[in-house]
Amino acid sequence: MDAVVTLKQGRLRGRVEDGVAVFRGIPYAPAPVGAALYGEPGTPPTWEGVRDAAEFGPTAPKPPYQPPYDQLLADPDIPGEEFLNLNVWTPDPGGSGLPVFVWIHGGAFRNGSTAVPTYDGRAFARDGVVFVSLNYRLGVPGFGLFPDAAPNRGLADQLAALAWVQENVAAFGGDPGRVTVAGESAGAMSVTALLSMRESAGLFRQAVTQSGAGQGVVRAQDARLVIGETAKLLGVDATARAFAELPPERVVQAQQTVAGELAVHRDAERFGPSVVAAAMAFPPVVDGAFLERPPLEAIAAGAGRDVTLLTGTTTDEQRLFLVPSGVTGFVDAQALAALAGPEAAAVYGAARPDDSPGDVLAAVLTDRYFRIPSIRMAEARAGGPARTFMYEFAWRTAHENLGACHALELGFVFDTLAAPATGGLTGGGAPQELARRMHGAWVRFAADGDPGWEPYDPVRRPVMVFDEPASGVVNDPRGDERRLWD
């Protein structure tokens, strides 16, 4: 069965699937071809007649995940130039006033797309929310810093998509005044950056950051070092004009080489200390103009103070990065003390007497890269007019000894545990009741800004811990470990 809506761009035909109308592959900006790949996103294209929106549109140029992560994380690759596109799931295209949930995918700013099956938006639409997911430029085209191109083009894409939502979501039954923007990992870091920017004012009134806060940005001088290394590999000048003359697949290959060398060598002189600290080659850049200063600084100064926030992490984030790669097996007590510091090694180790030194290191780095930045963002907003809610996802999968690792919560938030792609992390047998509770909390937050527990404050520090067989609020979980970072 078909569903047809009329946008400013033209008429659009979607499909009704399981009682939900779905419109896929809608362009929110022109295809970024040639020099436009390094330019600002343009005006949404128009068309004659009725455009078909049954299938996902192209995905941004990106490398495949390498083993063993290609078995854990789905990342479909759909060729084509018109990859600045988005998708809409709606319970009622003829309705009005429905809450809107806009999803920004993760993938370290170099992978991911809206076509990942775990991100299917039908459960949100089933429960009365208009769900939108968007693609954006990744890697060098999205975040490489050039002297002859605007910075942070991937963030500019996200702003353009949010502007499209404001202009068009009413055609799908959504209320442009009830928009929640959400993301996980790099998507959450994107949301944090957007929250800190003046350009995002009026585009959303609520935000969700899952496993990402203000930590994923780098200094301009360091970003120039990275693009210089990439240009050397390609044998061209470090300019957008020179890069635009190359096939995108060559640029992707070079950026993958640079990212691999960064991961192995962590050379601050070669890549810059902020890039080494971020552990990503091409994240957003604090350029002083578009992204004026680090997001947490801007938020502490009042940016995004009127936006209600839901933020949190999983309990064992870093296990996704350290266990499949085998790193945890190589860490002994001496290495733990050297990498974590003697005090952290002692405090975290005492709380985990049966864990190996590698497992203890994973806990330390989980806090370093994920939990503490999320807490800092909540603290920075304390006393402001909009509330902040915190959560922790604690259910541990037995699959591959991953625990409650990074990205494991996604199938629960989306209520897509049955999707085969979700099983790459859950391994099957994941508790559907927990998905019902967690997805329900996200739906309630989208609807009225209250997920169902008390807001965060820096005295009691209440955190909703999602686990099975029960979930509940815990005040200041693992407070002794948190205080080590003060």
Residues tagged active-site: 185, 317, 406
Q: Pick the closest to residue 331 from 360, 358, 349, 352 (CA basis).
A: 358
The amino acid at residue 243 is F
> Quick check: helix, strand or coil at residue 371?
helix
Give helix then strand counts, H and E, for the chain: 21, 15
> Quick check: helix, strand or coil at residue 295?
helix
Give the C-alpha separation, 394 to 438, whole Å: 12
Which residues make Cβ contacts (< 8 Å) with residue 303, sequence separation at least 6?
Answer: 195, 196, 197, 198, 295
User: Which DSSP symbol is given to 484?
Assistant: T
Q: Is 259:252 a contact under the CB 8 Å cutoff?
A: no
Which residues make Cβ contacts (< 8 Å) with residue 469, sequence separation at least 6?
Answer: none
Q: 87 pairs with which residues across the strands?
A: 133
Q: Is 364:340 a contact under the CB 8 Å cutoff?
A: yes
Residue 5 is inside which H or E element, if any? Answer: strand 2-6
Give the alpha-carbon dihedral of 397, 403, 405, 410, to 10 degrees.
20
Give the C-alpha separation, 325 to 2, whole Å: 46
| Strand stretches in 91-244, DSSP E | 98-104, 130-134, 174-184, 206-210, 218-219
Q: Is 7:168 a contact under the CB 8 Å cutoff?
A: yes
Give the alpha-carbon dihedral of 274, 278, 284, 286, to 10 degrees.
-30
Q: Is 320:407 a contact under the CB 8 Å cutoff?
A: yes
User: Which DSSP symbol is given to 288?
Assistant: S
Q: 12 pairs with which residues across the strands?
A: 5, 51
